[in-house]
Amino acid sequence: MKQITYILMALIFMNMSCITKTNKTETQDSSCEVRLITLDPGHFHAALVQKTSYPQVCNNVNVYAPAGDDLQEHLKRIDGYNTRDDSPTAWVENVYTGTDFLEKMLLEKKGNVMMTAGNNGKKTAYIKATLSAGINVLADKPMAINVDGFTMLQECFEIARQKDLALYDIMTERFEITTILQKEFSMIPGVFGQQQAGTPDDPGIVKESVHHFLKTVSGNPLIRPAWFFDVEQQGAGIVDVTTHLVDLVQWECFPGQIIDYTKDIELLDANYWDTPMTLAEFQKVTGSGAFPGFLQKDVRDGILHVYSNGDITYRIKNVCAKVSVIWNYTFPEGGGDTHYSIMKGSKSHLIIEQGQEQGYKPVLTIKPVKGTELDSFEKELTEALKTITAKFPGISLSKQTEDSWTVEVPASYHNGHEAHFGQVTENFLKYLSESMMPEWEVPNMITKYYITTSALEMAKRKRL
């Protein structure tokens, strides 16, 4: 009899251990428009969505995830936001860690918006199951990492359409002030002229992003999960960060326009390559003492080869574009992730640089093309500034050389990459409340993932 009692008590304890809370009290506010669900938060971007609070979002968040380090790191970040001195949040994380966490989420349906940022190999299936259950989805990029995932993602958008749900990915780079201003100046004909088509060897628009495996987030060293370095789970670099860059090409060159991948896109070239990592470096960034089995396919002579780098050259409508992403192990002292971009117009080039010379902060420069009458151009630029400052007070221009001007941006506009997650979320919440998304958003998301996943296939064929 005692043995049966012990067994029953153990079963009860195991069941209780699947449900934890970061706060002993749980309140349900029926006035909240949005009840948030977090699913399998394996990437720090999941927490950054909650770095700020939103009036229409309930403080209680239901989290469904496997137990382990990924979940604990997520909860530690949320707790850090709740306990900080400056504008603390008040999130209550109600956590379920049973092995059936996905099925449990779909059965309980305790929220109307699911947020997911984690293992990209699972993400597309998570999105499809969630939409099928009638729940809106806010997803970290990328939403698909291969051509099979792209096909499933198309099904996801169709499910969302049929059920009148929102499916949206987190495009933070649209909120970077120098990118915004690059777009704004490109829409002023007197300064930019017309976007130049360029050629595959000299594209009309170029975007390059440099990232680093070892970095800090919210002031703390970032511990990355070991699966982050597996292309089958995280995705190769050519389908990951390039998502942002492809999005910006569409958003800047063709604002408000629908891009149809079946007729507006022509892939021209694609490549991908690795970043080597020693076991000591791997240990420092993951906390893991050895390369796990699923990474052995990429380990040669004791060195892990992470296929995190890639580039894509393609024609979008009539414009040749090139995007590339590079991952280094870590950055030089005082440095960080960087972005380079150039838009080539018939009157000027709009150039964003973020290297050592710029103090690793993005700087936008306007440089008229050769042969331009500079006095006339300067008058056009001065006049254009009035249009810019009407939208962005405090922006100014400083002449650096006879034929280049730097766009001076007050520090208040540089709110940082982490803050952009809150801005994207606010945008998404606005779409939800209005039950309307711009007509170009969905087709352009589909086109974006067609470009990245098809480019990966092209790059693979080149390596055979």
* 313: its two tokens: 């050259």
Whether 6 has a pLDDT exceeding 50, the answer reads no
Residues 6+ positions from 282 with CB-CB distance below 8 Å: 226, 229, 288, 291, 304
In this predicted structure, the answer to whether residue 4 has a pLDDT above a threshold of 50 is no
Q: Which pLDDT tens digit goes with each residue over 188-220? A: 999 999 999 999 999 999 999 999 999 877 777
The pLDDT of residue 416: 86
- pLDDT of 11 > 60? The answer is no
Q: What's the length of the chain?
A: 464
Q: How sure is the predictor about 73, in pLDDT bands with cuts at 50, 70 and 90? A: very high
As a whole number, mean pLDDT of residues 331-338 equals 81
Kindly give the pairing relationship between strand 92-96 and strand 60-64. parallel
pLDDT at position 9: 44
User: What is the per-residue pLDDT for 216?
Assistant: 78
Closest CA to 81 of 37, 40, 49: 49
> Does 439 have pLDDT greater than 50?
yes
The Cβ of residue 312 has, within 10 Å, a number of other Cβ atoms equal to 28
> Is it the case that residue 10 has pLDDT exceeding 90?
no
* Mean pLDDT of all residues in 127-132: 98
Instruction: Quote the mean pLDDT of the chain.
Output: 92
Residue 1 has pLDDT above 90, yes or no: no
Average pLDDT over residues 50-65: 97
Q: Which residues lie closer than 8 Å to 224 by C-beta, 6 or more apart?
A: 213, 285, 286
Give the residue carrying structure tokens 């190999």: 121
On whether the pTM is more than 0.75, the answer is: yes
Complete DSSP assignment for 153-204: HHHHHHHHHHHT--EEE--GGGG-HHHHHHHHHHT-HHHH-SB--B-SSSBS
pLDDT, position 335: 79
In whole angstroms, give the CA distance from residue 323 to residue 344. 14
**Strand partners for 82:** none
Query: For strand 319-328 and strand 338-344, is the pairing parallel, antiparallel, or unpaired?
Result: unpaired
Residue 12 has a pLDDT of 40
Question: Is residue 24's pLDDT more than 80?
Answer: no
Domains of the chain: 2-170 (3.40.50.720), 173-463 (3.30.360.10)
Residue 331 or residue 52, greater confidence: 52
- Cα(433)–Cα(424) distance, integer angstroms: 14
The 10s digit of each residue's pLDDT in 339-362 is: 999 999 999 999 999 988 898 899
